[in-house]
Structure 1
Amino acid sequence: MAEWEKEPVVVIGLGRFGTAVALELTRRGIEVLAIDESPKRVQSLSGHLTKVVAADTTDIDALRDLGVDEFYRAVVAVGTDIEASILTTSLLVELEVDDIWAKAISAHHGRILDRVGANHVVYPELEAGERVAHLVSGRILDYMQVDEDFAMAKITPPRQVVGMPLGETKLRSKYGITVVGVKYAGKTFTYATAETELTHDDIILVTGRSRDIDRLVGLD
């Protein structure tokens, strides 16, 4: 882990998303200052996080008193209070926090966060919804959106590519899909090569544009 990655992080908002972020950072050995306006939430996490306090994060003096201006990274995980989310983010910018991650609950909310100075805007509910939709829809076993229109998916191989070397399937030229890994029945994942031959019992890891992955899994 690089030195800057070990620096403490301030997490503002301790709903489900903020709590999960704060606990995971703590598990990774990163010091966390967690802030929430609810004393009840703060009390429930007091034994699990490095430092957790109740404060109004829309008050710049309160943020200064907590030393937030000394942090390099911050996560704004405020829930449905969009006004508080935007104001808190703008105050972090004013305090010159270098790397600000902010949770958005809608595209409009995200655009505003971006405009006020958030370095990274995340959409946990939207991303979770897209992932579940792909999993529910059929043969996709796991799915991760890695860019606006690019994803990685774990799927069972379409019958059209079973029983022949991957190099002969022309998956990339026909469908824009690259098979990067394969898990044979009863074994762990390994790298796929042009010589890899698949069976119906295998699982493959593919990358490509989201719509191309959807097209591939719809072949059967």
Structure 2
Amino acid sequence: MKREFAVIGLGRFGGSICRELSMEGMEVLAIDNDEDKVNEFKNIASHAVIADSTDEATLKELGIKNIDHVIVAIGDNIQASILTTVVLTDLGIEKITVKAQNDYHEKILNKIGADQVVHPERDMGKRIAHNIISNNILDYLELSDDHSIVEVKVGEKMVGKSLIDLDIRANYGCNVVAIKQGKDINVSPSADDALREDDILIVIGADKDISRFEKHLVVEDK
């Protein structure tokens, strides 16, 4: 059974989510108060409508109560974002994800019932910054305020050494949870096997520990 989603706000962030969900075969209701944006997604989303998301009656008419997960991706209008979240909470939507403009906005969203708050610009900035540091840092994902998961390509300092030799957990407080080797992902890597040049480590840990790991063992200047 297909899950049903609604995306409110079809700017760069909301539009990207709408496209990806649609490509994955999900049922997507796309909502915006801008006619041009709605027209852009008429052939992408399952349904695309012009509507004021702060109007509870309008959202009811659209059948929003039957949607499994609503993503509020409203751009710069913080008031509209907050009011829309309040309406969705009052309607008892199962899951509400909201884009926050800043930390103050996030605090309000958490208090009024948002299940998940995202900072796409801030989070993407962190990922790009870590990638800029080194060619070996391929991806960086924040799990909480203090913990992250990083995907790193094995560098010169690690090639030919095993996980036992490197002892990343003892030396840096991080855990290697998987090793990618080509298209294969080994979630139970052998601690004795020598790492190869093209191997990719997936490492999880506290931000301060990951930072030490990157600086001492991973980073190779661009």
TM-score with structure 1 length normalisation?
0.88
Find out whether 1:78 has 2:66 as its counterpart: no
Moved over 3 A (4+): 156-164, 180-184, 187-190, 199-203
SS of equivalent to 2:57:
helix
In the alignment of these two chains, the number of paired residues is 214
Q: Is the 8 A contact 2:151 2:203 kept in 1?
A: yes
Deviation, 1:128, is 0.4
Mean CA deviation greater in 54-63 or 79-88: 54-63
Consecutive unaligned residues in structure 2, runs of 5 or more: 218-222
- Residue among 198, 214, 218 paired with 1:217: 214
> 1:93 corresponds to which letter in structure 2?
T
> How far does the alpha carbon of each residue in 1:54-74 deviate from its partner, in whole angstroms, 9 at most, with x for none?
011111111122121232321
Over the aligned positions, Cα root-mean-square deviation in angstroms equals 2.0
Deviation, 1:197, is 1.4
> How far does the alpha carbon of each residue in 1:73-100 deviate from its partner, in whole angstroms, 9 at most, with x for none?
2111101100000000000111111211
Task: Please give the alpha-carbon distance, in whole angstroms, between the structure 2 residues aligned to 1:26 and 1:164.
Answer: 44
Judged with a 3 Å threshold, the aligned counterparts in structure 2 of structure 1 residues 117 and 203 are, in CA distance, closer, same or farther, namely closer
- Residue among 122, 125, 139 paired with 1:142: 139
Q: Is the 8 A contact 1:181 1:189 kept in 2?
A: no
Find out whether 1:34 has 2:30 as its counterpart: yes
Task: Please give the alpha-carbon distance, in whole angstroms, between the structure 2 residues aligned to 1:34 and 1:84.
Answer: 16
After superposition, residues 1-220 of structure 1 pair within 5 angstroms as 6-138=2-134, 139-157=136-154, 161-183=158-180, 187-191=182-186, 192-199=189-196, 202-219=199-216
Deviation, 1:119, is 1.0
SS of equivalent to 2:114:
coil
Deviation, 1:165, is 2.5
Identity %: 37
Task: Please give the alpha-carbon distance, in whole angstroms, between the structure 2 residues aligned to 1:33 and 1:183.
Answer: 36
Consecutive unaligned residues in structure 1, runs of 5 or more: none
Deviation, 1:11, is 1.1
Q: Is the 8 A contact 1:158 1:219 kept in 2?
A: no
TM-score with structure 2 length normalisation?
0.87
